Chains A and B, each alone.
Chain A
Amino acid sequence: MRIVIAEDSVLLRAGLIKLLETSGFEVPAAVGEADGLLAAVAEHRPDAAIVDVRMPPGFTDEGVRAALVLRREFPDVSVLLLSQYVEERYAADLLATNTSGVGYLLKDRVADVSGFLDALRRVAAGGTALDPEVVSQLLLRRNTDPLERLTPREREVLSLMAEGRSNGGIAAALVVSESAVAKHINNIFAKLDLPHAEGDHRRVLAVLRFLDGDST
């Protein structure tokens, strides 16, 4: 898999390159600011881009804005945003149009090497990976919508779905059986009035519904 990196900290950029290359990824380009990222993606057409949120020149949300441009202009390139803090607003921006091929994680997660690489592979393959911190922020901001009808357990399952986990992953995280997870998910679909469709698409819709609560 080919990954382009945009990270302004030289130390971390080198660390990421080392981590990815020792794990069998290919890193055709690694840049230090947002404009360079767009050029590198245009040139190398990677499977995914790892993008730092705070980059020069303003050191605020350059990475988020660059990611939005990437998703518009290169829809086939997945984006994994990394940041020292996660903000639900940035997540909402990022997920506004669609929830596939996108991730938003705390930089700390890089320390859990295999977990991080799993998330990266998932995102590069078109899935999602949201940091549990973002998910809890998102949950906090929506308390007046159909999500109210969910039981605490179903909310937990839904937030794990939003993180991008499979049924098996959710079952492992909650220490329950996969069939119990499937039951919870069916309840969630029912309570959120989601139309019948193939499994994965409904999952995405559920997550979208979950994220959309913000805009109502």
Chain B
Amino acid sequence: MVSSSTARRAVTHAPWSQVTWRNTVFVASGVPLQLAGWAVVALPWVVWSPSDVMLILLWLALPVVAIAVLASPLASAHRERCWAVLGVDVPPLPRDENASPWDVLRDLRSPELWRLIRYHLVVGPLIALAGLTTVAAWLGGLVLTTVGAYAWALPADSPLSLTGHAIRVGALTACGVVVLFVTPYLAAGVARWDVATVRSLLGPDVTKELRKRVEDLAEKRADVVDAADLERRRIERDLHDGVQQRLVSLAMNLGLARETLRDLPPEALQVIVEAHEESKEILTDLRNFIRGLHPAVLEDRGLDAALSGIAARVPLPVRLEVDVARRASSTVEAVAYFVVSEALTNVVKHAGATSVDVAVLRRGDVLHVTITDDGKGGASFEAGTGLRGLARRVNSVDGTFRITSPEGGPTTITVELPCAL
């Protein structure tokens, strides 16, 4: 049984279908353009072959210059052809507005120049050959198919005369029909080859475009990460200048009330005492929260100095080893700081550990951050701990995040961060 897609292909590639004729027109229209390169190179030699060395050199140089000048209009013509006949849009080469056609020649190693030369002198002519074959196939098929129509006019002793060789004429007609039905596939194939070549050799260099895109994206991401970092600093500053100062002031006033209003009824004094204690607890909570955001000392003195503050807050023995001879970028420092801060918070909350080791070491251009605790292990991304957020923050600066935490411990978090973004 013939599948429906094969049937559809047969209909699309019928000799009378629109697609077929479009492909044929496309392939045929390419031939003069594809041969233009060799025509330019060969022209001087056809007209006159010089014997003088200087003239030979001139005859060699002229076509190169001509191709360089013609390359751009030829490429545009190919693009127009793709668009007008097939409706295929080939993006133009990114072009410097001020560049002259001569600029292509300036750098002989430029991949652009060699792609152009490959098209105009090597691949283009081959496609032209295929295009000519297609045209010839159409003509040949037509001549063979219609052989019956003019065979009567041939003399009786000709090998194709109808009177003597009806079977031969019939066979040739059949061959012609086969050729006519095969040629659409040839036309389609050549058209596809043509378009693909125009795209790859005359369009923008895909590798280069991708590289540029990757650079753009990396730059944009760095901007986003920096903006987030800046925002964290702004929040820290706002809280420090606003809420924190007012809370200190409130706690101080309550403390003053507690110490001076001795002759209040005990109930009233109790209320003041409770309010005072509460305000101090809030202050501690707020300080711990803000300290985790982005401490000023990190900016000012670097990771080593900043980590003392969070390590000392942990109610467990912490061994802290920091060896960062040259400082990393401030964004990377902020991420490393955040990693240690969050990891220590996790250890205190979930691990049930008796001690923690923190190591922050710079080796070459990589910052290695390792946090090991001797707790009960079993930490996972699913457990709802801050691990996912940690990994995300590390990824945002192209770092790697690993955690090993077998049931029963120990848990080790290993983070590697590139020092410069």
A residues with a Cβ closer than 8 A to B are 9, 11-12, 15-16, 18-19, 22, 54, 59-61, 84-90, 106-108, 110-114, 133, 136-137, 139-141, 143
Contact = CB atoms under 8 A, between A and B. Distances in A.
Judged by DSSP, the binding face of A is: helix
Nearest to A141: B308
B164 to A, nearest CB: 109
A200 to B, nearest CB: 28
A143 B276 CA distance: 37
Contacts of B241: 9
A185 B248 CA distance: 35
Interface of B: 237, 240-241, 244-246, 248-249, 251-256, 258-260, 276, 279-280, 283-284, 287, 290-291, 295-297, 299-301, 305-306, 308-309, 311-313, 318-320
A60 B301 CA distance: 10
B300 A60 contact: yes
B87 to A, nearest CB: 62
B306 to A, nearest CB: 8
Nearest to A117: B259
Nearest to B279: A111
Contacts of A111: 248, 251-252, 254-255, 276, 279-280, 283
A19 B259 CA distance: 11
Contacts of B287: 84-85, 106, 108
B318 to A, nearest CB: 6
Given A22-B256, A84-B290, A111-B252, A141 B320 contact: yes
A89 B240 contact: no
A140 B305 CA distance: 12
Contacts of A139: 312
B295 to A, nearest CB: 6
A136 B311 CA distance: 9
B321 to A, nearest CB: 10
Contacts of B297: 60-61, 85, 87, 89-90
Given A60-B300, A143-B319, A113 B248 contact: no
Nearest to A135: B312
Contacts of A106: 287
Contacts of A9: 241, 245, 249
A87 B248 contact: no
Contacts of A110: 248, 251-252, 255
Contacts of A90: 297
B245 A11 contact: yes
A54 B280 contact: no
Q: Which 9 A-B pairs have the closest CB atoms?
A: A111-B251, A137-B312, A89-B305, A9-B245, A113-B255, A137-B308, A111-B255, A136-B312, A88-B308
Nearest to B251: A111
A133 B312 contact: yes
A150 to B, nearest CB: 14
Given A84-B244, A87-B297, A114 B259 contact: yes
A62 to B, nearest CB: 10
A108 B295 contact: no
B324 to A, nearest CB: 14
> Which of B240, B251, B280, B308 has the most C-beta atoms of chain A within 10 angstroms of its own C-beta?
B308
> Which of A59, A136, A137 has the most C-beta atoms of chain B within 10 angstroms of its own C-beta?
A137
B128 to A, nearest CB: 71
B233 to A, nearest CB: 10
22 contacts: A9-B241, A15-B248, A15-B253, A16-B252, A59-B296, A60-B300, A61-B297, A85-B291, A85-B309, A86-B309, A87-B295, A87-B309, A88-B308, A88-B309, A89-B297, A89-B308, A111-B283, A112-B255, A113-B252, A136-B312, A140-B312, A141-B320
Contacts of B309: 85-88, 137
